[in-house]
């Protein structure tokens, strides 16, 4: 990995985050796949040798859980989704060189090999941790088999990450108040021995790595907090059936342990590259040259400094992912690679999300434009690809709406690119049966060269958008050029001059076709055919932009169709109806039944442990920034306690001082919005009806 400009002499591997074999994809997901495909095509045009690989992520608890819901084996469930994805990417012109899945033999073997290597190098150790356990079902509860409270932000979280709260990655055993998602039982913690990857040993290595990592800045910045702070070792095994079995020696008394899904998932990047090599022959693409050759020796994680790496003759590994999985790619994954002696990624491009009319996609509310829906509307895949790639910077969230989509398509693709190509080729075909007899003018050749340079720089800057813009801007120049020279006035009086102008225009069309190929692969191939070329446009290189167009071609057809207002109105209406329908069902299902009575009985002693007192509210004020929280001071006889209660909106805070209330005084302390809460006010129901005393109990008296 030289950090030289592309193209380099080494093979490059471009990967996209693995789609999880669990459900459907919407156009938000599509963004990274389009980008990966476009980036790969762009590198190829530059002359870089590439492999574009990906695969379905088959393991992990969500697949196991959803398979169980449908009462099928996880394997079948995951494979079904895998097949769906596999068929489906080509429909969007997303052409992986290899699209595998994490259960394929190659991945299982490579993963095992890497884990064993890490063991051999002393990067793996055993430790006993408390893991969630379902006492009724008599089974351990890894990851998403358990839900509970995030220990960091106090929010409801899944076992492996605080998905709704602070987004923090949770290690097994961290979650509080665990509840089994299988039976709904409260889970217990039991000690279990697991395997850990000594991530902490890679701290120094990662600090160097993050500095030389290319790609988008968020991929460098976001992991900094971790890498510069204390790195925690990473639990890499789980108690469950579904997954790749731990290849090394199991802890004593254990007969099965599988690898955590995030261990085997990224290895698929390597496995898929290897399978691609095997398919086309190692002479055609050498996966080892990309992933292994040239890497500083395995073992000591920090022996390799940046100078060593920059001198190393390794492959160019480029990961294109969504910004939600930066940590995995910038911390865990490079450490694994380093520990096992593989090459490190050269670049990580982490994209922003796609919003729908300013709001996030929501699967549960059906607020989404599904991939299939899009195709069923009869839209060409290049249109949405163009939209998603060229709207806003790569790291930026992009807003999608049908109106904006229409605006971009009609203005830029129809009006600028399509129109220029059509008017030029039509004029040429009608008057000259193709390219007239002339050569490119100096002005036009220079303008094309400029566009080529912009394109090249953009790709080296990891900006696919800019590369696309360079192509469209060239077409805009073409429109201006033809307009300025008015060849339709010249054909009679100055035929030679007319030929010159049209030759230039055809040349520009050709250059646009080459430069726009990454963004518009389907449409530019059609344009290429219209030009009378008999090759594949994605197989040419940048030089083709200035090579002479074919002598003869026929009258072209229009490249893009305008999207009519009626179609957009119709789409919006249907989207709205669908969201409404989905929201209604959600509301119905959320009708507020009374909470079921608890079955479990507690002992009198348990009750005695609760120190509940009569109190008097002395003051009440809202907590700034919180919608519902109020800070109360409550006199409980012995002292005055500060408590936080979620009653800001439900009560008139000014009327509360003086009111008697009931306070659980030995509730554990908590901090909410930076305010310490030392006790818990008792209140009934959703409306937080405050409990008080019927008679005249004194402040401080115990409830018993």
Site string for RNA, 467-506 (x = CB under 7 A): ---------x--xx-xxx-x-xx-----------------
Instruction: Decide: is 681 part of the binding site for RNA (CB under 7 A).
Output: yes
CA dihedral of residues 459, 462, 463, 464 (deg, nearest 10) = 60
By CB under 7 A, the residues from 272 to 291 that bind RNA are none
DSSP 8-state symbol, 59:
-
In angstroms, rounded to a whole number, what is the distance separating the alpha carbons of residues 666 and 609? 8
Please, which residue, 185 or 221, has the CB nearer to RNA? 221
Please, which residue, 54 or 630, has the CB nearer to RNA? 630
Q: Which two tokens stand for residue 214?
A: 């290319």
Instruction: Decide: is 379 part of the binding site for RNA (CB under 7 A).
Output: no
Q: Point out which span in 49-57, 58-66, 358-366, 575-583 binds RNA (CB under 7 A).
A: 358-366
Q: Which two tokens stand for residue 288?
A: 């080892």
Q: Point out which span in 272-280, 281-289, 334-342, 624-632 binds RNA (CB under 7 A).
A: 624-632
By CB under 7 A, the residues from 418 to 437 that bind RNA are 418-419, 422-423, 426-427
Please, which residue, 360 or 602, has the CB nearer to RNA? 360
By CB under 7 A, the residues from 154 to 173 that bind RNA are 154-156, 164-167
In angstroms, rounded to a whole number, what is the distance separating the alpha carbons of residues 579 and 543? 49
For the sheet containing 359-360, what is the strand order?
A: 359-360, 354-356, 398-400
Instruction: Decide: is 396 part of the binding site for RNA (CB under 7 A).
Output: yes
**Placement of tokens 């348990």 in the chain:** 606
Site string for RNA, 565-594 (x = CB under 7 A): ------------------------------
| Nearest distance from C-beta of residue 107 to RNA, angstroms | 30
For 391, other C-beta atoms within 10 Å of its C-beta total: 17
Please, which residue, 95 or 692, has the CB nearer to RNA? 692
Beta bridge partners of 245: 258
Please report, for residues 21, 263, 293, 370, the alpha-carbon distance to residue 24 in angstroms, rounded to integers and kept in the order given.
9, 23, 37, 8
- Binding residue for RNA (CB under 7 A) from 109, 130, 233, 397? 397
| Nearest distance from C-beta of residue 120 to RNA, angstroms | 36
By CB under 7 A, the residues from 336 to 355 that bind RNA are 352-353, 355
Q: Which two tokens stand for residue 380?
A: 């060409």
- Binding residue for RNA (CB under 7 A) from 270, 414, 438, 471? 414
Count residues near RNA (CB under 7 A): 83
- Binding residue for RNA (CB under 7 A) from 672, 697, 699, 703? 672
Please, which residue, 125 or 673, has the CB nearer to RNA? 673
Please, which residue, 101 or 523, has the CB nearer to RNA? 523
Site string for RNA, 454-473 (x = CB under 7 A): -------x-x----------
Q: Which residues are within 8 A (CB) of 591 and not within 5 positions of it... i.e. 6 or more apart?
A: none
Instruction: Decide: is 393 part of the binding site for RNA (CB under 7 A).
Output: yes
- Binding residue for RNA (CB under 7 A) from 207, 359, 453, 535? 359
By CB under 7 A, the residues from 24 to 83 that bind RNA are none
Instruction: Decide: is 659 part of the binding site for RNA (CB under 7 A).
Output: no
By CB under 7 A, the residues from 183 to 242 that bind RNA are 217-218, 221-222, 225
Instruction: Decide: is 688 part of the binding site for RNA (CB under 7 A).
Output: yes
| Nearest distance from C-beta of residue 250 to RNA, angstroms | 36
Q: What does the buried/exposed string (b/e) look like for 398-413 if buried means 16 or more CB atoms within 10 Å of the residue's CB?
A: bebbbeebbebbbebb
Please, which residue, 127 or 310, has the CB nearer to RNA? 310
**Placement of tokens 């940046």 in the chain:** 306
Please, which residue, 336 or 438, has the CB nearer to RNA? 438
Rounded to 5, what percent of the chain is helix, strand, coil?
45, 20, 40
Please, which residue, 280 or 360, has the CB nearer to RNA? 360
- Binding residue for RNA (CB under 7 A) from 94, 187, 337, 644? 644
Query: Is residue 497 within 8 Å of 490, Cβ to Cβ?
Result: yes
Instruction: Decide: is 322 part of the binding site for RNA (CB under 7 A).
Output: no
Q: Point out which span in 37-45, 309-317, 374-382, 620-628 binds RNA (CB under 7 A).
A: 620-628
By CB under 7 A, the residues from 537 to 566 that bind RNA are 558-562
In angstroms, rounded to a whole number, what is the distance separating the alpha carbons of residues 276 and 17? 17
| Nearest distance from C-beta of residue 222 to RNA, angstroms | 5
In angstroms, rounded to a whole number, what is the distance separating the alpha carbons of residues 603 and 219? 53
What is the CA angle 332-337-340, rounded to 5? 120
* Strands 398-400 and 354-356, sheet pairing: parallel
Q: How far apart are the first and last CA of the chain?
A: 72
Q: Which two tokens stand for residue 625?
A: 């920034």
In angstroms, rounded to a whole number, what is the distance separating the alpha carbons of residues 350 and 487? 46
- Binding residue for RNA (CB under 7 A) from 44, 97, 412, 454? 412
Query: Is residue 157 within 8 Å of 144, Cβ to Cβ?
Result: no
Please, which residue, 152 or 370, has the CB nearer to RNA? 152
Please, which residue, 361 or 374, has the CB nearer to RNA? 361
Instruction: Decide: is 640 part of the binding site for RNA (CB under 7 A).
Output: no
| Nearest distance from C-beta of residue 627 to RNA, angstroms | 4
Query: Is residue 658 within 8 Å of 689, Cβ to Cβ?
Result: no
For 100, the 3-state DSSP assignment is strand
Instruction: Decide: is 595 part of the binding site for RNA (CB under 7 A).
Output: no
| Helix residue ranges, H only, 180-243 | 203-212, 217-221, 224-228
Query: Is residue 46 within 8 Å of 7, Cβ to Cβ?
Result: yes
Please, which residue, 191 or 411, has the CB nearer to RNA? 411
Q: Which of 639, 636, 646, 641 is nearest to 673 (CA)?
A: 646
Q: Point out which span in 253-261, 262-270, 341-349, 640-648 binds RNA (CB under 7 A).
A: 640-648
Q: Point out which span in 21-29, 38-46, 203-211, 643-651 binds RNA (CB under 7 A).
A: 643-651
- Binding residue for RNA (CB under 7 A) from 250, 670, 691, 697? 670
In angstroms, rounded to a whole number, what is the distance separating the alpha carbons of residues 392 and 389? 8
By CB under 7 A, the residues from 293 to 312 that bind RNA are none
- Binding residue for RNA (CB under 7 A) from 10, 61, 112, 416? 416
DSSP per residue, 453-517: HHHHHHHHTT-HHHHHHHHHHHHHHHHHHHHHH-HHHHHHH-HHHHHHHHHHHHHHHHHHHHHHT
Beta bridge partners of 615: 661
């Amino acid at each position: 990995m030289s950090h030289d400009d592309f193209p380099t002499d080494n093979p490059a591997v471009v990967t996209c985050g693995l789609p999880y074999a669990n459900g459907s994809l919407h156009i938000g997901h599509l963004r990274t796949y389009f980008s990966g495909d476009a980036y790969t095509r762009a590198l190829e045009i530059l002359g870089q040798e590439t492999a574009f690989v990906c695969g379905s992520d088959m393991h992990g608890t969500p697949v196991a859980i959803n398979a169980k819901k449908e009462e099928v084996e996880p394997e079948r469930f995951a494979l079904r989704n895998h097949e769906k994805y596999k068929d489906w990417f080509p429909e969007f012109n997303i052409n992986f060189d290899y699209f595998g899945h994490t259960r394929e033999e190659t991945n299982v073997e490579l993963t095992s090999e890497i884990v064993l290597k890490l063991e051999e190098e002393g990067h793996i150790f055993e430790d006993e941790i408390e893991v969630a356990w379902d006492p009724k079902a008599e089974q351990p509860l890894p990851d998403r088999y358990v839900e509970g409270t995030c220990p960091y932000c106090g929010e409801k979280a899944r076992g492996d990450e605080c998905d709704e709260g602070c987004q923090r990655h949770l290690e097994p055993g961290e979650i509080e108040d665990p509840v089994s998602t299988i039976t709904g039982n409260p889970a217990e913690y039991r000690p279990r021995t697991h395997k850990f990857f000594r991530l902490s040993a890679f701290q120094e290595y990662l600090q160097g790595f993050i500095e030389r990592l290319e790609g988008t800045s968020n991929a460098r910045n976001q992991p900094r907090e971790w890498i510069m702070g204390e790195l925690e070792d990473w639990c890499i095994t789980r108690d469950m059936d579904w997954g790749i079995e731990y290849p090394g020696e199991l802890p004593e008394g254990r007969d099965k342990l599988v690898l955590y899904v995030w261990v085997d998932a990224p290895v698929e990047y390597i496995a898929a590259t290897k399978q691609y090599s095997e398919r086309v022959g190692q002479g055609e693409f050498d996966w080892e040259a990309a992933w292994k050759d040239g890497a500083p020796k395995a073992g000591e994680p920090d022996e390799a400094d940046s100078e060593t790496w920059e001198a190393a003759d390794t492959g160019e590994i480029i990961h294109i992912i969504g910004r939600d999985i930066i940590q995995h790619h910038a911390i865990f994954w490079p450490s694994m690679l380093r520990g096992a002696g593989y090459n490190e990624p050269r670049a990580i491009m982490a994209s922003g999300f796609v919003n729908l009319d300013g709001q996030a996609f929501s699967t549960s509310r059906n607020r989404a434009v599904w991939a299939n829906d899009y195709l069923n509307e009869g839209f060409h895949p290049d249109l949405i690809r163009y939209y998603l790639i060229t709207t806003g910077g790569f790291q930026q969230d992009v807003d999608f709406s049908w109106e904006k989509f229409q605006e971009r398509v009609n203005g830029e693709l129809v009006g600028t690119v399509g129109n220029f190509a059509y008017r030029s080729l039509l004029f040429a075909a009608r008057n000259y049966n193709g390219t007239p007899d002339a050569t490119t003018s100096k002005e036009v050749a220079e303008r094309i060269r400029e566009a080529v340079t912009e394109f090249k720089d953009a790709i080296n800057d990891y900006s696919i958008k800019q590369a696309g813009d360079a192509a469209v801007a060239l077409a805009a120049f073409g429109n201006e050029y033809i307009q300025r020279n008015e060849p339709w006035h010249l054909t009679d009086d100055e035929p030679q001059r007319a030929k010159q102008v049209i030759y230039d225009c055809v040349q520009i069309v050709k250059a646009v076709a080459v430069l726009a190929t990454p963004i518009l692969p389907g449409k530019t191939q059609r344009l290429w055919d219209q030009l009378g070329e008999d090759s594949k446009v994605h197989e040419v290189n940048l030089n083709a932009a200035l090579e002479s167009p074919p002598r003869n071609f026929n009258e072209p057809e229009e490249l893009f169709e305008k999207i009519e207002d009626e179609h957009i109105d119709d789409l919006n209406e249907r989207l709205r109806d669908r969201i409404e329908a989905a929201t209604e069902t959600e509301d119905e299902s959320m009708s507020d039944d009374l909470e079921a009575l608890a079955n479990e009985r507690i002992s009198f002693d348990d009750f005695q442990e609760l120190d509940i007192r009569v109190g008097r509210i002395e003051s009440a004020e809202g907590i700034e920034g919180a919608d519902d929280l109020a800070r109360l001071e409550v006199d409980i006889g012995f002292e005055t306690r500060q408590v936080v209660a979620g009653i800001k909106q439900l009560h008139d805070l000014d009327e509360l001082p003086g009111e008697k209330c009931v306070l659980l005084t030995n509730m554990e302390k908590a901090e909410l919005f930076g305010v310490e809460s030392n006790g818990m006010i008792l209140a009934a129901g959703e409306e937080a009806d405050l409990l008080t005393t019927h008679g005249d109990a004194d402040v401080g008296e115990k409830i018993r």
